[in-house]
Amino acid sequence: MEEADGPDSESTTPDPPSSHAAARIILLGVILVGVAAIGVATAVRNSATTTASADSRDKDQKAAVAGEVGTAGRFEVTAKLVELPGEFLPNDGLYNYAFVLKYEVLEVHRSEGDVASTLYVAHYNPRKTRTKVADEFYSDLGGNLERFRAGDVHRLALEQPWDQHYIGPLVDRYHKLADKRIYWAIWSNSAGTGG
């Protein structure tokens, strides 16, 4: 026998549809406000961090330009660039190379071994300023030298032998000279003109 719905029977009356919709809208609004607040807080924090990081990088780069030449590599010299043995190859973004330049040593600041009065130094991508020469392959390179010009004096932090520090193409226009040692330039700062 079936029971008839009557005044004494239990029944659940669904909430009117408008109350569910209102609750959903309120919940959605709360979520959107929360997401917006998180987005604003993240943007403010990233902006402050980026500014602090940029300031820190600028200070670090300026200190490094002055300081790395005194600590990088096993050799540090002040030397006069004797000549540019021909034109540098283009830096078109597709081809990286090192170019050997000839120097006359004026002063040896640090050395692990003898340093001859004439040095042959391989510079990575010499058309680039030393502040922009570092890349994903050779991130430890740098300095404040803007360009290579015969007669100028450079303060150089060097490594030797070059081929233990560099594995790319080498343009050596002094290749016919026997018994020369090639150094790898890590840091190159301007030290004036040779006059």
**Residue % of the chain over a pLDDT of 90:** 41
Average pLDDT of the chain is: 79
Q: Is the CB of residue 105 less than 8 Å from the CB of residue 170? A: no
Residue 181 and residue 162 in one domain: yes
What pLDDT, on the 0 to 100 scale, is given for residue 23?
73
Q: How confident is the model at residue 11 (pLDDT cuts 50, 70, 90)?
A: low
Question: What is the total residue count of the chain?
Answer: 195
Asked whether residue 12 is domain-assigned, the answer is no
What pLDDT, on the 0 to 100 scale, is given for residue 154?
96
What's the mean pLDDT in 9-29?
65
What pLDDT, on the 0 to 100 scale, is given for residue 51?
54
The pLDDT of residue 182 is above 90: yes
What pLDDT, on the 0 to 100 scale, is given for residue 59?
46
What's the mean pLDDT in 30-37?
72
The pLDDT of residue 10 is above 60: no
Q: What are 170's two structure tokens? A: 């080498």
Asked whether residue 118 is domain-assigned, the answer is yes
Q: What are 82's two structure tokens? A: 């004797």
What's the mean pLDDT in 58-79?
66
Q: What are 55's two structure tokens? A: 């300031």
Q: How confident is the model at residue 63 (pLDDT cuts 50, 70, 90)?
A: very low
136 burial via Cβ count (<10 Å: 0-12, 13-18, 19+): exposed
SS3 193: strand
Q: Global pTM? A: 0.64
Task: Note down the domain range covering 61.
Answer: 17-68
Residue 25 and residue 117 in one domain: no
Asked whether residue 10 is domain-assigned, the answer is no
What pLDDT, on the 0 to 100 scale, is given for residue 146?
94
CA 54 and chain centroid, separation: 13
DSSP state of 82: E
The Cβ-side half-sphere exposure at 58, using a 13 Å CA radius, reads 6
Residue 57 and residue 90 in one domain: no
Residue 155 and residue 86 in one domain: yes
The pLDDT of residue 53 is above 60: no
Residue 38 and residue 78 in one domain: no
Per residue in 102-158, pLDDT (tens digit) is 999 999 998 888 888 999 999 999 999 999 999 988 888 999 999 999 999 999 999
